[in-house]
């Protein structure tokens, strides 16, 4: 019987990866994840696609805020609103915090406000007045003069009805009025002093009734100190005046020449708006040089008044905090002013009666220098802590950035748009990276090395300041002269892929199924055994837009492990990557 040669059939298996898991910078990652990415998007996930081209307004800007329109501060210190210059100019070059309160923009540390609904309404939060001359007289609440009939420590004899007596027998003077009906001296709850000036129309432009001010330099000790202005008056036909609460026993014969009235605003480390108030925090030395560690707010609806204490629920408020360490951020979260240190979260319980309280949670807070990472996306607050990126919903924060791997990041600046969290950070070598976290899909992607210093979303466009220029991440062209990227370079690097598998299986090839737009191109590179050399495995360029997907094969060499790198230019959609395994026989 003749002998025939034995033929061994090569058995094959196919494993399909048709869902891509985004960026994962850990040493061992799942199939479908990418160790590094550049300019890819999760918009079409589970397909792999390229991000939108960005726009560039070529405008120079230093700080942003989103309202009905975009507000930004230009490099020359001018405030722009809806891309038009406003009357607010000469702002400092210091880093800005711009806060919206109603129709107003409030800018720190310059302490300037601007009304977006009435652009003629703008000015300083603070007011300072040092007149050349100031005279005094006792008065009633309405400003009419009041004459004291008696000024003495002992009760007067034989008073007439409605006469006034300044009782100087105690530590503080008391104003009393004789009541014929009661046959007794009745204490007048509040006594007032009217301070008159030689100016006309200046004081009403600086101050308003109810302002909390500091008065200094008066020869009357009772007038100096923290005061509430009971009334303010003056104009073209009348000399200026203010009324404060005080009861001096004797008035000076000559006008004062060194009186000073100040309405000041604190220097907040961080500030936010919540429930029609501005809330701030301060750690370090206060205005009087004493150490402070406190949270404070302005009067209800009045960002000019931070020292208005009348015993009302609408007053300003200050609360001391016992936890140590500098403040690292502030945000309005779910209607509560929320303040951060690196290892604490303090939330203010806002009371309608004005009895606000401060709670404390010992947990991961905001990393120092990453205060701009605080963003609310789909009702969840995200921020950069010292160790990771956290999601916070009012309890304890939860880390969501394990996929970013081992590198340590700092200087985080974040924006939010279309359900995504955009995060620009610096690594240990000060190299920037722009990451994007798709909240709904739970995917991270690294876009590129764009260093952003501020974000602001207006409608569905996300604005950013990068390199001092105002850009749009979704490609809109809001002003004349704006340009858009023509093509976007992209890249995806796989994790370590094993070449040999159990039961003598090995990879014979990878089949990449993709579609390219007209003029787009893709190149494939392979690195073997972590030798640091990327070897070309071919490429494809689309002369015209592909109506059907094409299959691009990659045949790797024999090795222990390998990595794939896909890079290209222009719009691409990668549907799947199939791994073809050859199964060895008993004879091998």
pLDDT at 1: 53
CATH number of 367-474: 2.120.10.80
For 208-229, write each residue's pLDDT tens digit: 999 999 999 999 989 999 999 9
Averaged over 274-294, what is the pLDDT?
92
pLDDT for residue 506? 79
Higher pLDDT, 311 or 280: 280
> In which element (H, E) is residue 204 found?
helix 203-206
- Residue whose C-alpha is closest to residue 93's, from 121, 61, 70, 126: 61
Residue 588: pLDDT band by 50, 70, 90 thresholds?
A: very low
Domain positions in the chain:
11-52+490-583, 55-126, 128-263, 267-362, 367-474
pLDDT exceeds cutoff 70 at 501: no
* Average confidence score pLDDT of the chain: 92
Beta bridge partners of 337: 332
The whole-angstrom separation of Cα 394 and Cα 352 is 21
Overall average pLDDT of the 84-105 stretch: 95
- Burial 313-341, CB ≥16 within 10 A → b, else e: ebbbbeeebebeeebbbbbbbeebbbbbb
Given CA atoms 472, 474, 478, 480 in this order, what sign does their dihedral have?
positive
* Residue 9 confidence class, pLDDT cut points 50, 70, 90: low
Please give the Cα distance from 145 to 6 (Å, whole number): 124
Looking at per-residue pLDDT, the higher value among 517 and 546 belongs to 517
pTM above 0.85, yes or no: yes
Q: In the predicted model, is pLDDT for residue 26 greater than 70? A: yes
3-class secondary structure, 402:
helix
Among 171-175, 259-263, 274-278, the least confident range:
171-175
Residue whose tokens read 């230009």:
74
| CATH code of the region 11-52+490-583 | 2.60.120.430
Distance, C-alpha 273 to centroid of its chain: 11
pLDDT at 141: 87
User: What value does the mean pLDDT take over residues 124-142?
Assistant: 93
Average pLDDT for 53-57: 97
Residues contacting residue 537 through CB under 8 Å, at least 6 positions apart: 524, 525, 526, 554, 555, 556
Q: What is the pLDDT of residues 404-463, one digit of tens each?
A: 999 999 999 999 999 999 999 999 999 999 999 999 999 999 999 999 999 999 999 999
């Amino acid at each position: 019987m003749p002998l025939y040669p034995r033929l061994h059939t090569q058995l094959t298996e196919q494993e399909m990866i048709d869902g891509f898991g985004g960026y994962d910078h850990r040493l061992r990652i799942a199939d479908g994840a990418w160790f590094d990415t550049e300019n890819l998007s999760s918009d079409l996930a589970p397909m792999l696609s390229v991000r939108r081209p960005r726009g560039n307004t070529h405008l120079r800007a230093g700080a942003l805020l989103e309202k009905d329109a975009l507000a930004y501060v230009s490099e020359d210190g001018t405030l722009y609103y809806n891309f038009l210059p406003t009357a607010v100019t000469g702002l400092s070059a210091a880093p800005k915090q711009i806060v919206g309160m109603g129709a107003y923009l409030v800018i720190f540390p310059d302490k300037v406000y601007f009304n977006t609904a009435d652009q003629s309404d703008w000015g300083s939060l603070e007011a300072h007045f040092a007149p050349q001359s100031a005279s005094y007289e006792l008065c009633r609440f309405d400003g009419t003069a009041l004459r004291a009939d008696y000024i003495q420590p002992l009760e007067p004899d034989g008073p007439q009805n409605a006469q006034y007596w300044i009782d100087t027998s105690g530590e503080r003077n008391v104003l009393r009025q004789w009541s014929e009906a009661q046959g007794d001296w009745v204490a007048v709850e509040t006594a007032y002093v009217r301070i008159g000036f030689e100016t006309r129309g200046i004081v009403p432009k600086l101050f308003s009734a109810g302002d909390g001010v500091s008065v200094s330099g008066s020869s009357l000790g009772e007038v100096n100190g923290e005061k509430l202005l009971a009334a303010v008056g003056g104009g073209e036909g009348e000399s200026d005046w203010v009324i404060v609460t005080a009861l001096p026993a004797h008035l000076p014969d000559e006008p004062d020449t060194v009186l000073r009235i100040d309405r000041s605003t604190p220097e907040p480390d961080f500030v936010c708006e919540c429930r029609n108030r501005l809330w701030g925090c301060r750690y370090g030395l206060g205005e009087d040089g004493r150490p402070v560690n406190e949270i404070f707010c302005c009067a209800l609806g009045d960002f000019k008044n931070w020292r208005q204490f009348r015993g009302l629920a609408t007053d300003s408020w200050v609360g001391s905090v016992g936890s140590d360490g500098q403040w690292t951020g502030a945000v309005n979260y779910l209607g509560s002013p929320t303040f951060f240190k690196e290892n604490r979260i303090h939330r203010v319980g806002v009371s309608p009666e004005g009895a606000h309280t401060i709670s404390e949670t010992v947990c991961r807070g905001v990393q120092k220098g990453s205060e701009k990472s605080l963003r609310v996306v789909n009702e969840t607050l995200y921020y950069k802590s010292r160790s990771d990126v956290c999601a916070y919903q009012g309890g304890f924060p939860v880390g969501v950035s394990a996929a970013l791997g081992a590198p340590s990041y700092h200087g985080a600046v974040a924006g939010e748009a279309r359900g995504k969290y955009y995060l620009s950070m610096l690594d240990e070598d000060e190299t920037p990276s722009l990451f994007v976290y798709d909240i709904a899909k739970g995917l991270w992607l690294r876009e590129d090395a764009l260093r952003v210093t501020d974000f602001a979303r207006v409608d569905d466009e996300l604005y950013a300041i990068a390199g001092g220029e105002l850009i749009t991440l979704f490609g809109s062209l809001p002003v004349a002269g704006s340009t858009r990227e023509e093509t976007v370079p992209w890249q995806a690097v796989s994790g370590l892929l094993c070449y040999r598998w159990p039961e003598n299986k090995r990879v014979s090839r990878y089949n990449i199924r993709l579609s390219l737009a007209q003029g787009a191109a893709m190149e494939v590179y392979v690195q073997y055994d972590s030798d640091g050399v990327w070897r070309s495995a071919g490429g494809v360029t689309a002369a015209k837009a592909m109506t059907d997907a094409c299959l691009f094969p990659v045949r790797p060499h024999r090795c222990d492990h390998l990595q794939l790198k896909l890079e290209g230019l222009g719009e691409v959609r990668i549907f799947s990557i199939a791994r073809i395994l050859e199964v060895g026989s008993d004879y091998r």
